[in-house]
Amino acid sequence: MKIIHSYFTEGYYEWARLLLDSLRKSNGKKYKVILSSRNLDKSRQNQLLKLYNGDIEIRNKNLDYKALAKRAGIKLDRLMQFKSETEQVKINKDNWVWKLMISAEDRIREIREVANGLHEGDLMLNLDVDSYIRKRLDSWFDIIAENDFSSIIKYDKQIQRLGYIKKKAYVIICCIQGYNINEKSLKFLDRWMFYIDRVSPKYRPRGFGQITCYEAFLELKDELRWGIIPPNTYSLSGQGDCILWGANKGPKHENLARFRGDYGKA
């Protein structure tokens, strides 16, 4: 089975709509979709189910914001401000702690949970929810099928250019992740979570999710087959004629409007 998976908090609801719209338009309903949402009410869950109207499953859980604020060592209203800024505008030096607990922890734990519930040989493509799919995904699934873990991997690029790894946070760019479900890929997720869990949110550096991904990669580098998503097939700044646009740069609300505009022209 081929699965598209994404994780999002309720503030990204409109992005989830675009993800489903663009997936359906570019690839039909050939893939099973699993959406892991947080604090999403039933009404909006039902709207997403109707929007795709195919093999889709929504797994919603409710975050305890008070507990998260306590873990982060900040007041609840401050945490909620960080949440809103992250969802609507962008990450900055102040609100980073929210992302470190959500994208760099809860999301990875959820990916592991979903992966552990699949069957050996299933292929899962995890995408950031603020993604716009413009073309068919067949070539990416071919890469996923031939490897254990696939992503935007720049290990060789840094080694060739510098002779060593200078920026650990930029070895693997985790907005696109592919899992060939088997013992090795599940082991990789276990090790990734090990490196995440050993550091308290208060002490996590910027880029923590990708740094810990690199640490797991380094430990298992010789055990797994690593697939590289070709650079010409995606744009993380949302431009060009490629398979996927990501909203990694610029304000989220502006990117959403721009991506929607392009979607309407296609």
Give tens-digit pLDDT for 126-137. Answer: 999 999 999 999
Query: For the chain, what is the radius of gyration of the CA atoms?
Result: 18
Domain span including residue 200: 2-265
What percentage of the chain reaches a pLDDT higher than 90? 77
Other beta carbons within 10 Å of 84: 13
Residue 205 has which token pair? 């550096």
The CA dihedral of 142, 146, 150, 154, to the nearest 10 degrees, is -100
pLDDT of residue 266: 58
Helix (H, G, I), strand (E, B) or coil at 252: helix
pLDDT of residue 55: 94
Residue 48 has which token pair? 């997403």
Helices (H), 53-88: 65-72, 76-88
Higher-confidence residue of 168 and 229: namely: 229
The rounded mean pLDDT for the chain is 93
Q: Dump pLDDT digits (tens) for 90-111.
A: 777 677 788 889 999 999 999 9
- Give the dihedral sign, CA 210/110/200/191: negative
pLDDT at 159 over 70: yes
Q: Which residues pair with 130 in a beta bridge?
A: none
Q: Are 186 and 121 in contact (CB under 8 A)?
A: no
pLDDT band at residue 165 using 50, 70 and 90 as cut-offs = confident
User: 84-93: long-range contacts at Cβ-Cβ below 8 A with a sequence spacing of 24 or more?
Assistant: 84/11, 86/11, 87/9, 87/11, 87/12, 87/252, 88/11, 88/251, 88/252, 88/253, 89/251, 89/252, 89/253, 90/250, 90/251, 90/252, 93/206
How many Å apart are CA 262 and CA 250, to the nearest integer? 17
pTM of the complete model beyond 0.75 = yes
pLDDT at 164 over 80: no
Q: Any idea which of 22-36, 57-71, 122-136, 200-214 has the lowest mean pLDDT?
A: 200-214
pLDDT of residue 53: 86
Give the strand pairing for 131-133 and 244-246.
antiparallel
How many Å apart are CA 49 and CA 60, to the nearest integer? 13
pLDDT at 7 over 70: yes
Query: What does the chain come to in residues?
Result: 266
Helix (H, G, I), strand (E, B) or coil at 165: coil
Mean pLDDT calculated for residue range 244-252: 91
Residue 258 has which token pair? 């721009």
Q: State the distance between the two ends of the chain, measured CA to CA, in whole angstroms.
A: 28
pLDDT of residue 235: 96
The number of distinct structural domains making up the chain is: 1
DSSP 116-151: HTS-TT-EEEEE-SSEEE-S--HHHHHHHHHSSEEE
How many Å apart are CA 198 and CA 130, to the nearest integer? 28
User: CATH number for the domain including 227?
Assistant: 3.90.550.10
Residue type, 62: N
How many Å apart are CA 218 and CA 210, to the nearest integer? 12
Mean pLDDT calculated for residue range 205-228: 95
Mean pLDDT calculated for residue range 65-78: 92
pLDDT at 89 over 80: no
Mean pLDDT calculated for residue range 222-241: 96
**∠ Cα 259 263 266 (to 5°):** 140
Mean pLDDT calculated for residue range 151-176: 86
